Structures are given as structure tokens and as C-alpha cells.
């Protein structure tokens, strides 16, 4: 199947203009299309995990970090695993 990459580039440019929540929804749907039908058990597990994390944020028991700290940790992890 021949794909017009210019069309894909246009779609990507438009998708990147969407608000974060909509981009996440698009990314999830694209990801699901690559891996086939989403696993219902995985979906349920992630839903439960998200619910627990939100509850921890709301009750103040979650340990959070700044964006700078998260990026620093990610960069350190990547540099040690090359």
C-alpha cells in the first residue's frame, strides 16, 4: 500500500495543534490501531491505576516532582542505559 506521506504530515501538523487531552485521545487511538484490539484486562488495570493515582493526588499522599526533576531523571536513566 502506497501512502502519501504529505497527507500524514498534514494530519500530524493538525493533530499537534489540538489541546493536550485531545492529543492524548488521538495518540491512544493510533496506538490501539497498531496493536489491534485493546486488551480489556489491560484497560481495566490501567483504569484502576489511574483512579488510585488521582485519589492519592486528591488526598495529598502522592509524591510529586517538578517537570524539571522528571526530565532530569529521565535523561539520567537514558544516559545510563545506552
For 27-66, the pLDDT digits (tens) are 888 887 876 666 778 888 888 899 999 999 999 999 999 9
pLDDT score, position 3: 59
* Confidence tier at 76 by pLDDT (50, 70, 90): very high
Q: State percent of the chain over pLDDT 70.
A: 91
Phi, psi (degrees; rounded to nearest 5) at 61:
-95, -5
pLDDT score, position 52: 93
* Alpha-carbon gap, residue 54 to 47, rounded angstroms: 11
For residue 12, the Cα-to-chain-centroid distance in whole angstroms is 16
Domain count of the fold of the chain:
1
* Alpha-carbon gap, residue 37 to 62, rounded angstroms: 32
Total-model pTM:
0.42
Range of the structural domain that residue 76 is part of: 5-80
CA angle, 74 as apex, 69 and 78 as ends, to 5°?
150
pLDDT score, position 37: 64
Amino acid at each position: 500500500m502506497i501512502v502519501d506521506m504529505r497527507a500524514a504530515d498534514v494530519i500530524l501538523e493538525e493533530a499537534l495543534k489540538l489541546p493536550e487531552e485531545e492529543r492524548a485521545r488521538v495518540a491512544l487511538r493510533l496506538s490501539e490501531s497498531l496493536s489491534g484490539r485493546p486488551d480489556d484486562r489491560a484497560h481495566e488495570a490501567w483504569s484502576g491505576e489511574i483512579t488510585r493515582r488521582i485519589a492519592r493526588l486528591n488526598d495529598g499522599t502522592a509524591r510529586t516532582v517538578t517537570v524539571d526533576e522528571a526530565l532530569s531523571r529521565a535523561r539520567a536513566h537514558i544516559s545510563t542505559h545506552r
